[in-house]
A and B are shown apart, each in its own frame.
Chain A
Amino acid sequence: MAAAARSQVMSLYRTMLRESAKFPSYNYRNYALRRVRDAFKANRNVEDPKAVERLMEEGRQTLALIQRQDLTVIVPSTLTLKHRVK
C-alpha cells in the first residue's frame, strides 16, 4: 500500500475509534470500539488499491453513522426510581 494511502487509513482508524468512544451506553461503546478494531485487523493485509478504496468508503460511511448515533442519550421521562437497582 502506498504511504499516502496508509496514512489515510490510519487517520480514519483513529477517528473511528475516537468517535466510537463517545457512545454514552457502555455496551454500544464497547461494541463499536471492538468492531472497528476487528474490522481493520481483518483487512490489514488488503493490498489491491481498488479494494482498499472500497473499504475506505465503507469506513467513511460507518464513521458518519457513528457520529449520527453516538449522541443518542435518551431516557424515558416516565422512568421512576423504583425500577432501578438500589
Chain B
Amino acid sequence: MLASGRTVSSRLLRPTAWLPLRLSSERTAASSPQKELIKKHEQDELRPLYMDFQATTPMDPRVLDAMLPYQVNYYGNPHSRTHAYGWESESAMETARKQVADLIGADPREIVFTSGATESNNMAIKGVARFYKAKKRHVITTQTEHKCVLDSCRILESEGFDVTYLPVQKNGLLDLELLEASIRTDTSLVSVMTVNNEIGVKQPIKEIGQICRSKGVFFHTDAAQAVGKIPISISDWKIDLMSISGHKIYGPKGVGALYVRRRPRVRLEPIQNGGGQERGLRSGTVPTPLAVGLGAACSVAQKEMEYDHQRVSMLANRLVQKIMSEIPDVIMNGDPEQRYPGCINLSFAYVEGESLLMALKDVALSSGSACTSASLEPSYVLRAIGADEDLAHSSIRFGIGRFTTEEEVDYTAEKCIEQVRRLREMSPLWEMIQEGIDLKSIKWTQH
C-alpha cells in the first residue's frame, strides 16, 4: 500500500530504494505549494539511513506538538510576574519541570533547566568542587567519561584541585573496591556516567551511590544516554546530582536539566550569574518552548519506556546475530550483560574502521562519539577498556532507537557483512591470518 512504484532513477540514486519510502497515494490530494514541498522532501529522503541514535535523536512528533504553541502565540517571558503572557509561560515551564522530575522520581524543585548535558556536567562538577573548596580539594571520575566531564576536571586541576581518573575494567565497568579505596577524607565529588555513550555499558550506579553516601561524598552521574531509556530512581540509587539532555531522548536540541538534591542539600557555586533564575543556580531566561519540549520528551519516554526497550532490544539482537553469524572475528566492546541494548559497539578485526564507514556511506554511523568523530585517533574509551590499538581502530558504533525499523537493521547488517568481507579480501593482514601466521610474531620495520 505504501510502497507505490519507485522510479528507475531514484532506485539508482538510493541503494535503499526498496524501502517503502514513497508517500501514500492520499498525498496527491495536497495543494500545489504543498506538492512542491513534498517533492523537495522526497529528494531529501535520499539521505542515508540513520543509525546514530547516541549522537542525537529525531524529535518525536508528540514533542513538537507540545512545543509549537510556545514558539508562536504563547511567547511570554516565564519570569514576567506582571502579566498573563508571563504567567502562561511560567505555568508551562513548571509543568515541564514536573514531567522531568516524575521521570526520575525527583521533586520538581530539584530540577534546574540548562542548555544541555554539557552545561549540566560543567555546573555540577565545577560547581560542587568550587563551593566546598575550603575543606575538600579532591574529585574522582573515570577514564571513560564524556569529554565535557574530563575537561571540567582538567580545569579543576589547573585551579589546584586533585583529580583521580579511575581506570575501568576490560568490560568497561568500574571496579567498586578501587573506587572505595580512592575516596579520601578531602574528596568532595565522585562523577561516574550511567550509560556510556560509546560502548553502551551501564555502570553499577546503585552500588556507587551507596558507597558515596556511606563516605559522605557527593555523587554526580551523567545520565544523558540513560534517562528515559532505562528506569532511574534518584532516591534508590542515592544520586545527588544528575545531568539530563533533551536531544538524546527525542526532545529538542539546546536544552537539558540538572537534578540537584535538596535533602541532604547539595550546594554549588553557579557558573552563570545574572537575574537569579532557577534559584540563582543558572541565571538567564528559561527558553519556554525548549523546556516544554524536554518535559514532553520525558513524559513520552516514561509512557513508552517498556515498549521502546523491548523493541530496541529486539532490533539490537537482530543486528548482532546477523552480523556475528555471517562474519568471524567480530568483537563486541563492553560488558555483554550490563548494557543499554540500543548502543552496540563492534570491532571488526583486520578492517580499518574509517574505511568501513566510507564503504557504508548510505548508512549514517560513527566510530565513536560525535564530538571526536573528526579525528582519526582511536577512541580513548576503547583504549581505556584495554582494546588493542588495531581493534580500537576498527570499531563502529550502531545506534538503534524508537524510529528504527526492521528493514533498516537488515539493510545495515547485510551492507556491513558485504563490506567487511570485501575489505578483508583486500587486507594483507587477513591473508596472513588465513595462512596461519600469528600477527603478534611479526617484526614490523622500525622507523
B305 to chain A, nearest CB (A): 14
Q: Choose one: A66, A73, A83; the contact of B38 (CB below 8 Å).
A: A73
CB-defined contacts of A32 to chain B, threshold 8 Å:
61
Q: With A85-B48, A85-B362 as known contacts, state yes or no: A24 contacts B61, CB within 8 Å.
A: no
Distance in angstroms between the alpha carbons of A24 and B58 in the assembled complex: 14
CB-defined contacts of B47 to chain A, threshold 8 Å:
83-85
Closest to B402 in A: A31
Distance in angstroms between the alpha carbons of A75 and B20 in the assembled complex: 20
The reply to whether the CB of A15 lies closer than 8 angstroms to some CB of chain B is no
The A-contacting residues of B in range 26-74, CB under 8 angstroms, are 26-27, 34, 37-38, 40-41, 43-48, 50, 58, 61-62, 64-65
Q: Choose one: B14, B41, B65; the contact of A68 (CB below 8 Å).
A: B65
The answer to whether A22 and B402 have CB atoms under 8 Å apart is no
CB-defined contacts of A70 to chain B, threshold 8 Å:
61
B409 to chain A, nearest CB (A): 12
CB-defined contacts of B362 to chain A, threshold 8 Å:
85
Distance in angstroms between the alpha carbons of A71 and B405 in the assembled complex: 21
Q: With A27-B405, A28-B61, A86-B13 as known contacts, state yes or no: A75 contacts B37, CB within 8 Å.
A: yes
Interface flags for B1-25 (1: CB within 8 Å of A; 0: not) read 1100000000001100001110110
Distance in angstroms between the alpha carbons of A24 and B45 in the assembled complex: 10
The reply to whether the CB of B132 lies closer than 8 angstroms to some CB of chain A is no
Q: With A31-B403, A85-B47 as known contacts, state yes or no: A65 contacts B37, CB within 8 Å.
A: no
CB-defined contacts of A72 to chain B, threshold 8 Å:
61, 64
A15 to chain B, nearest CB (A): 12
B242 to chain A, nearest CB (A): 28
CB-defined contacts of A31 to chain B, threshold 8 Å:
402-403
Closest to B58 in A: A27
CB-defined contacts of A86 to chain B, threshold 8 Å:
13
The answer to whether A22 and B26 have CB atoms under 8 Å apart is yes
Distance in angstroms between the alpha carbons of A31 and B13 in the assembled complex: 25
The reply to whether the CB of B444 lies closer than 8 angstroms to some CB of chain A is no
CB-defined contacts of B38 to chain A, threshold 8 Å:
24, 73
Interface flags for B70-90 (1: CB within 8 Å of A; 0: not) read 000000000000000000000
A54 to chain B, nearest CB (A): 14
The answer to whether A26 and B402 have CB atoms under 8 Å apart is no
How big is chain A's contact interface, by range?
A: 20 to 34
Interface flags for A3-40 (1: CB within 8 Å of B; 0: not) read 00000000000000010011111111111100100100
The answer to whether B405 and A79 have CB atoms under 8 Å apart is no
The answer to whether A73 and B13 have CB atoms under 8 Å apart is no
Q: With A65-B61, A72-B64 as known contacts, state yes or no: A21 contacts B24, CB within 8 Å.
A: yes
B350 to chain A, nearest CB (A): 27
B361 to chain A, nearest CB (A): 6
Closest to B66 in A: A65
Q: Choose one: A24, A35, A75; the contact of B23 (CB below 8 Å).
A: A24
CB-defined contacts of B405 to chain A, threshold 8 Å:
26-27, 30
CB-defined contacts of A73 to chain B, threshold 8 Å:
34, 37-38, 40-41
A24 to chain B, nearest CB (A): 6
A23 to chain B, nearest CB (A): 8
The answer to whether B1 and A21 have CB atoms under 8 Å apart is yes
Distance in angstroms between the alpha carbons of A28 and B44 in the assembled complex: 15
Distance in angstroms between the alpha carbons of A69 and B64 in the assembled complex: 8
Distance in angstroms between the alpha carbons of A71 and B44 in the assembled complex: 16
Distance in angstroms between the alpha carbons of A22 and B404 in the assembled complex: 18
A58 to chain B, nearest CB (A): 10
Distance in angstroms between the alpha carbons of A66 and B60 in the assembled complex: 11
Closest to B2 in A: A21
Distance in angstroms between the alpha carbons of A18 and B26 in the assembled complex: 9
Question: Can you name 6 A-B residue pairings with CB atoms under 8 Å?
Answer: A24-B38, A24-B41, A29-B2, A73-B37, A83-B47, A85-B46
Besides the known contacts A74-B41, A84-B47, 20 further A-B residue pairs in the complex with CB atoms under 8 A apart = A18-B26, A21-B1, A21-B2, A22-B27, A25-B41, A26-B19, A28-B403, A29-B2, A31-B402, A35-B307, A65-B61, A72-B61, A72-B64, A75-B37, A75-B40, A83-B47, A84-B46, A85-B13, A85-B46, A86-B13
The 5 closest A-B pairs by CB, nearest first: A27-B403, A69-B61, A73-B41, A26-B21, A75-B40
List chain B positions with a Cβ less than 8 A from chain A: 1-2, 13-14, 19-21, 23-24, 26-27, 34, 37-38, 40-41, 43-48, 50, 58, 61-62, 64-65, 307, 361-362, 402-405
